[in-house]
Amino acid sequence: MDSTQLTSLLESVARGSVPVDLAAHSIGTATADLGFARLDLHRDLRCGFPEAVLASGKSVEDCVAIAAAFVARDVRMLITRVSDAQAAALRCAVPDGVWHERARIFARDKAPLCAAGLVVICAAGTSDLGVADEAAVTAAACGARVELCYDVGVAGLHRIEPVLPLLREANAVVAVAGMEGALPSVLGGLIDRPLIAVPTSVGYGTSFGGIAALLAMLNSCAAGVTVTNIDNGFGAGCAAARINRLVAGRGTHGS
The footprint of a second copy on residues 166-195 (CB under 8 A) is 168-171, 179-182, 185-186, 188-195
Q: Which of 28, 61, 85, 98 binds a second copy (CB under 8 A)?
A: 28
**Smallest separation, CB 108 to a second copy (Å):** 17
93 binds a second copy (CB under 8 A): no
* Closest C-alpha among 218, 214, 208, 207 to residue 229: 214
**Smallest separation, CB 105 to a second copy (Å):** 13
Query: Of the listed pieces 67-75, 82-90, 91-99, 203-211, which binds a second copy according to CB under 8 A?
Result: 203-211
Cα–Cα distance, 53 to 73 (Å, whole number): 16
40 binds a second copy (CB under 8 A): yes
* Closest C-alpha among 110, 111, 17, 113 to residue 71: 110
Cα–Cα distance, 222 to 66 (Å, whole number): 42
Q: Interaction with a second copy in 207-246: which residues (CB under 8 A)?
A: 207-232, 234-236, 238-239, 241-243, 245-246
Helix (H) or strand (E) holding 52: strand 52-54
Tell me whether residue 96 or residue 192 sits nearer to a second copy (CB atom).
192
112 binds a second copy (CB under 8 A): no
Cα–Cα distance, 103 to 133 (Å, whole number): 5
**Smallest separation, CB 89 to a second copy (Å):** 17
User: Between vectors from CA 224 to CA 222 and to CA 230, what angle results, nearest 5°?
Assistant: 85
Contact between residue 224 and residue 216 where contact means Cβ atoms under 8 Å apart: no
Question: What is the Cα 189 distance to its own chain's centre?
Answer: 25
Q: Interaction with a second copy in 118-137: which residues (CB under 8 A)?
A: 118, 124-127, 129
**Smallest separation, CB 6 to a second copy (Å):** 9
Tell me whether residue 111 or residue 221 sits nearer to a second copy (CB atom).
221
